[in-house]
Amino acid sequence: MFFKISLLLALAVCAAGLAHKIWSWLTISIDKDDCQYPPGRRLAATLSELGRAVFSGRLGAMLRALVLEGFLQMRSLGHSRTAWLAHVCIFIGFTGLLLFHALGAQLTATLFSGYYPTLDPWLLLRDLLGVMVLVGVGLIIYRRLTVQGLRRITSTTDRMAIVFITVVLLSGFALQALKITSATSFESMQKEYAGLSAPRELHALRSAWAEDYGVIFAPGQTSRDAEVLALGRKLSEDNCVDCHAPAQHAFASYALAAVMRPLALTLDGLQAPQILYYVHFLSCFIGLALLPFTKFLHMVSGPLLLMTNAAVDRKTMDPAARATLRALEMDACSHCGTCTVHCSVAVTVHRIHNQDILPSEKLSALATMVRGSNGDRNHLAQIREGAYTCTNCYRCTRLCPLGINLNDLWVALKRNLYHEGFGDPYQEVAQRSQKAAEQSRSSDTVHVVSGGFQHGLKLSAQAGTFSGCYSCRQCTNACPLVFMSERPNESLDLLPHQVMYSLGLGLKKEAMGARLVWNCLTCYQCQEACPNLVQVTDILYELRYLAAKAASGLEA
Amino acid sequence: MRFALFAGCQVPNFAPQYETSSRLVLKKLGIKLTKVEFNCCGYPLRHQHFNSYLLAAARNLALAEAKGLDILTLCKCCLGSLKRAQSFLAHNPDLMAAVKRELAEEGLAFNGTAQVKHLQTVLHQDVGLERLSDLVVRQMKGLRIATLYGCHALRPSRVTGFDNPYSPHLIDELLEVIGAESVPWAGKLKCCGAPLREKNEVLSLSIINQRFKEVGEAGADVLNVDCSHTLLQIKWAFKMLWPRSVELLKGVVLYPQLLGLAMGIAPEDLDLDENRPRAGFLSNYLAPRTPVSPEENSLVKRLSDHYI
């Protein structure tokens, strides 16, 4: 009764959660432009896109994607065999357990006559599948601990998921192990199926089961006498064997039972099998109920996404359907970290200390943003830094095992940030610096800073080489910006030699705010032309970097 | 000869033909490439965070060093970025120590032994013009090519060491090997405007427009570039400046594509039509190789052809 109620409850929560998720795929807008499509329009567009794909002969490609990319995870085989093996172990193990164990009575029994969970191959299969899942989980833990970058992003949710699967699996194995050793189970089964009453026969059957099946009885209840065992085995043959494969075939549980042997009697007395049974099925039900709200959702959203990707062309599809697809992508991420491990700029987090640079974390940030909780402006500034540190190399999109088009989402993220007042940081810093320079120019006093700032320009190969400038203007003559401009003095504020000279005078704001600095092409013609080895281009680079640094300091 | 191929962030996705044609050509030359998963060369990070730039560049150098290989880059901005970082680190022991410490955490030893070379340097210096010439079976007869050397390869010349920054000849000689003519033109050593593409569109466009005009004035049949940023810049600008751009620029081509054609690789394998503007028409210029008389090949003849 309790089992049924809790199962129904879990199913209800799961169904409600999935319905909520599907609704969110039709309502959440990843890109600001997606807002214009109401849920009905999105649903219609999505269904018609899929319908068109199915009827134009793309069903084969969809099924292929489901099997090869979904079930067999061929996408991860190319970059990590460990990850691939882990997924395949867990997928096969988990699906097998669901079909042949959890749904054994409902599904397997109707498909295979003579199904009985304690008979082979089911008894053996159950342990085999369970061990596969455990091996998969072990591989995942190994990867999370050893792969560079993966450890850094492993979140509490990831750990909880691993702990959760382990609890389900271990409680199952322990339950099976305790059942093997349990005298109480033996007695109740015996009463129900054999119904022996003669003490001699009972003694014999117990002895045989203690010897052959590993049941642990209280001392004195069994014997190892050959004659007794022979009688017991005969009785077992008549009454039990039809429904019982040798307990040793549940190899993992039997091994566990052997380990627990000294405690078996005590545990049996404490009704441990009963307790474990509750732990096992309740943990499964909790998992079922939480599926739509955790990363386990990728079991549903992942295959959906992979099949949709195989069916439609993202570029030409109906934008309303694309809005749905993007929302689905947010829920497809399993936080496996593949994108982050291979990210071209992941190395910068050693120096910038901003986790939102990493694709997996940036995706989480985007997810919180579109769900309406923007957080404070500092957090938005942090997300922006992540968004703009990307080099658009598409590795994350190419490698995502679930086929999430991350680069498309990054474009949406930048647009969202722009709407929140967080545009391209380069432009912002440039404008800020130019404004400061303008103010400084328009005031009557000259703001000469001390040598501290000049000393700060030390990253270029030869610190402070600007002091070697004797204003010969070779740099200015070489500069393509000066060449392109009709009145360079007006459009660039300062010419290259003037920037160098300003630095010599300590005019920090004027130098940093010159439009020349912010429009520099970094073609190095000025630096090459300098007869006195002033590192002109490198210094212009450095001025921009110092302004960016000062600006990020203001935000933090 | 073996190198670690540094394809960069843009090539695999936006210009895969650059990588495939380079691989085909290098394979013919017996140069082996090792796959290393490099990170960003640091170039786009330099404005934003100097220290990250250095670390990113140094990590690439360390990855190559761990394999005992030198780096072969396809992109000239990657080349410049890595080379500049190398020299920054060589001149600043404090920066070097910090980078070493951080890379050591990852188990990477960094001593700066790995060299960085652009594909064209490898072809010119490591392979050599003679050997290239031996493998050329067809010539690009009468093809007039304007070549853009690329700022970040040429300059700062003390750091990059690519060629003479004022009168380079490396690419001209490579073009000569395949029987094409490198035309003198005004923009040869100048900037393509790519660094400003996302920062100041108008200015960026007017700079590349200037290059287009110069190519048109020189009457070149095709523009040769060997830098992924320039390639993308041209693709973008060609579209933006359409239809005027069509009159000025007939096609853009990468050197490995040209060399591949001359070596007898099938034009369809070199994906010439993946370039924007397309360069598929170049296969029309292919002609059987004719022996060159010593007199015709003399320095005086070559100089007079060009300048008199």
Per-residue pLDDT for A49 more than 80? yes
Query: Could you tell me if A151 and A55 lie in one domain?
Result: yes
> What is the rounded average pLDDT for all residues in chain B?
94
Query: Does residue A504 belong to any structural domain of this protein?
Result: yes
Query: Could you tell me if A129 and A8 lie in one domain?
Result: yes
Which of chain A's residues have a Cβ under 8 Å away from the Cβ of B40? Answer: 344-345, 347, 391, 393
Query: Does residue A249 belong to any structural domain of this protein?
Result: no
Which of chain A's residues have a Cβ under 8 Å away from the Cβ of B190? Answer: 480, 523, 525
Assign A64 a pLDDT band (cuts: 50, 70, 90): very high
Chain-centre distance for alpha carbon A275:
33
Contact B52 A461 (CB under 8 A): no
Query: Could you tell me if A418 and A448 lie in one domain?
Result: no
Residues 245-304 of chain B with CB under 8 A from chain A are none
Q: What would the two tokens of residue B170 be? A: 């490396």
Residues 99-128 of chain B with CB under 8 A from chain A are 102, 105-106
- Domain assignment of residue A529, given as a range: 444-555
Dihedral sign, Cα of residue A443, residue A444, residue A447, residue A448: positive
CATH number for the domain harbouring residue A71: 1.20.950
Contact B40 A345 (CB under 8 A): yes
Residue A294: DSSP 8-state: S
Q: d(Cα A82, Cα A471) in Å, to the nearest integer?
A: 62
Per-residue pLDDT for B205 more than 70? yes
Q: d(Cα B19, Cα B7) in Å, to the nearest integer?
A: 7
Of residues A314 and A17, which shows the higher confidence score? A17
Which of chain A's residues have a Cβ under 8 Å away from the Cβ of B196? Answer: 519, 521
- Under 8 Å between Cβ of B192 and B208: yes
Q: What would the two tokens of residue B306 be? A: 């060009």
Of all residues in chain A, what percent carry a pLDDT higher than 70? 95
- What are residue B71's DSSP bridge partners? B4, B116
Q: d(Cα B226, Cα B148) in Å, to the nearest integer?
A: 8
Average pLDDT for residues B183-188, to the nearest whole number?
96
Query: Does residue A31 belong to any structural domain of this protein?
Result: yes
One-letter amino acid for residue A89 of the chain: C
Assign A460 a pLDDT band (cuts: 50, 70, 90): low
The pLDDT tens digits of the residues spanning A129-142 come to 999 999 999 999 99
CA distances from B239 to A355, B271, B275 (A): 37, 20, 12
Of all residues in chain B, what percent carry a pLDDT higher than 70? 94
Query: Could you tell me if A491 and A386 lie in one domain?
Result: no
Query: Does residue A121 belong to any structural domain of this protein?
Result: yes
Residues 20-49 of chain B with CB under 8 A from chain A are 37, 39-40, 44-49
Query: Could you tell me if A152 and A282 lie in one domain?
Result: yes
**Last residue of one domain, picked from the residues A390, A423, A456:** A423
Q: How many CB pairs under 8 A join A and B?
A: 129
Residue B182's SS3 state is strand
Contact B44 A391 (CB under 8 A): yes
Q: d(Cα A535, Cα A503) in Å, to the nearest integer?
A: 13
Q: Which of B240, B306, B227 is nearest to B277 (CA)?
A: B240
Number of domains forming the structure of chain A: 3
Per-residue pLDDT for B308 more than 80? no
Query: Could you tell me if A283 and A413 lie in one domain?
Result: no
The pLDDT tens digits of the residues spanning B65-123 come to 999 999 999 999 999 999 999 999 998 899 999 999 999 999 999 999 999 999 999 99
Contact B52 A347 (CB under 8 A): yes
Query: Does residue A483 belong to any structural domain of this protein?
Result: yes
Query: Could you tell me if A413 and A547 lie in one domain?
Result: no
In angstroms, what separates the C-alpha of B91 from chain A's closest C-alpha?
A: 6
Q: DSSP for A228-249?
A: HHHHHHHHHHHHTGGG---GGG
- What are residue B118's DSSP bridge partners? B73
The pLDDT tens digits of the residues spanning A360-375 come to 999 999 998 888 776 6
- Under 8 Å between Cβ of B199 and B189: no
Average pLDDT for residues B218-233, to the nearest whole number?
97
Query: Could you tell me if A451 and A397 lie in one domain?
Result: no
Query: Does residue A54 belong to any structural domain of this protein?
Result: yes
The pLDDT tens digits of the residues spanning A283-294 come to 999 999 999 999
Say what the pLDDT of residue A443 is.
Answer: 79
Query: Does residue A221 belong to any structural domain of this protein?
Result: no
Of A344, A394, A518, the CB nearest to B40: A344
Query: Could you tell me if A19 and A53 lie in one domain?
Result: yes
Contact A425 B206 (CB under 8 A): no
The pLDDT tens digits of the residues spanning A342-396 come to 999 999 999 999 999 999 999 999 998 888 776 688 889 999 999 999 999 999 9
Residues 161-220 of chain B with CB under 8 A from chain A are 165, 190-191, 193, 195-196, 198-200, 203, 206-207, 210
Say what the pLDDT of residue A462 is.
Answer: 57
Q: What would the two tokens of residue A154 be? A: 């492993």
Per-residue pLDDT for A461 more than 70? no
Say what the pLDDT of residue A456 is.
Answer: 64
Say what the pLDDT of residue A301 is.
Answer: 96
Say what the pLDDT of residue A198 is.
Answer: 85
Say what the pLDDT of residue B15 is.
Answer: 96
Q: d(Cα B296, Cα B56) in Å, to the nearest integer?
A: 49
Of B46, B154, B210, the CB nearest to A541: B46
The pLDDT tens digits of the residues spanning A107-129 come to 888 888 878 888 888 899 999 99
ipTM here: 0.93
CATH number for the domain harbouring residue A515: 1.10.1060.10
* Phi, psi (degrees; rounded to nearest 5) at B145: -110, 130
Residue B268: DSSP 8-state: G
Q: d(Cα A329, Cα A366) in Å, to the nearest integer?
A: 11
Of B9, B152, B157, the CB nearest to A393: B9
Say what the pLDDT of residue A556 is.
Answer: 39
Helix (H) or strand (E) holding B118: strand B116-118
Say what the pLDDT of residue A209 is.
Answer: 92
Q: Which of B153, B156, B87, B169 is nearest to B117 (CA)?
A: B153
The pLDDT tens digits of the residues spanning B231-287 come to 999 999 999 999 999 999 999 999 999 999 999 999 999 999 999 999 999 999 999
Query: Could you tell me if A289 and A346 lie in one domain?
Result: no
Contact B55 A347 (CB under 8 A): yes
Which of chain B's residues have a Cβ under 8 Å away from the Cβ of A392? Answer: 9-10, 13
Contact A525 B59 (CB under 8 A): no
The pLDDT tens digits of the residues spanning A154-166 come to 999 999 999 999 9
Which of chain B's residues have a Cβ under 8 Å away from the Cβ of A512? Answer: none
Domains of chain B: 2-118 (1.20.1050.140), 134-307 (3.40.50.11810)
CA distances from A16 to A288, A300, A316, B273 (A): 12, 14, 33, 53
Per-residue pLDDT for A62 more than 90? yes
Query: Could you tell me if A520 and A395 lie in one domain?
Result: no
Average pLDDT for residues B4-27, to the nearest whole number?
97
Query: Could you tell me if A12 and A44 lie in one domain?
Result: yes
Of A484, A527, A545, the CB nearest to B47: A545
How are strands ordered across the β-sheet holding B116-118? B32-34, B2-6, B70-73, B116-118
The pLDDT tens digits of the residues spanning A478-512 come to 999 999 999 999 999 999 999 998 888 888 888 99
Average pLDDT for residues A516-525, to the nearest whole number?
97
Contact A394 B13 (CB under 8 A): yes
Residue A492's SS3 state is coil
Residue B7's SS3 state is coil
Query: Does residue A327 belong to any structural domain of this protein?
Result: no
Most B CBs within 10 A among A521, A525, A539, A540, hence the mutation to make, goes to: A521
Residue A89's SS3 state is helix
